[in-house]
Amino acid sequence: MDKATLVDLDLKKGEKIVLALEDNGLPLALALWVHFPEYEDWRFVVASRKLDPLSPGDAYLRVIRALNQAGFTVRESPAILIMKTTDPFVRELRKMFGKAASVVGMRLGGQRWGDRVIDDAYAYKIA
């Protein structure tokens, strides 16, 4: 099955998600839309040191609460994948792009990062 294309609405939603999380005290180390081969749809991937010590359930609850406070409804919230900053995928992206002046709009795809292959990605933050 062909993957759906990210449209301007998705890109703006990603910006709002980043702002909502960071304004709610979750400084992000990584924020990007990613299409992994194992999923049929795009995932909004985030990583934050503040989420690392939390259980997966508590981390998702923290993110959902932040998005709710920013006015996101359940219908508006995309599929979010929270990764630890120690995950090989996150570590390799941060090692490669963490010192870049800006990664906003950078497209990554068709390659392996850490232990994951990605079909396509659109970056907002890699710090």
Query: What pLDDT, in 10s, does the model give residues 88-126?
Result: 999 999 999 999 989 999 999 888 999 999 999 999 999
- 39's CB contacts (< 8 A; 6+ apart) are 79
CA distance 46 to 87: 11
For the domain covering 8-126, report its CATH number: 3.30.300.90
Q: What is the pLDDT of residues 69-83, one digit of tens each?
A: 999 988 888 899 999
Q: Taking the domains of the chain in order of start, what are their residue ranges?
A: 8-126
| Average confidence (pLDDT) over 2-8 | 72
Q: What is the DSSP letter of 48?
A: -
Query: What's the pTM value of the predicted model, to 2 decimals?
Result: 0.91
Q: With 50 as the cut, is the pLDDT of residue 1 above it?
A: no
- Give the integer Cα–Cα distance in Å for 28 and 125: 7
Confidence at residue 35, expressed as pLDDT on a 0 to 100 scale: 94
- For residues 37 and 115, what is the distance between their CA atoms, to the nearest angstrom? 13
- Provide the mean pLDDT of the chain: 93
Above pLDDT 90, what percent of the chain?
80
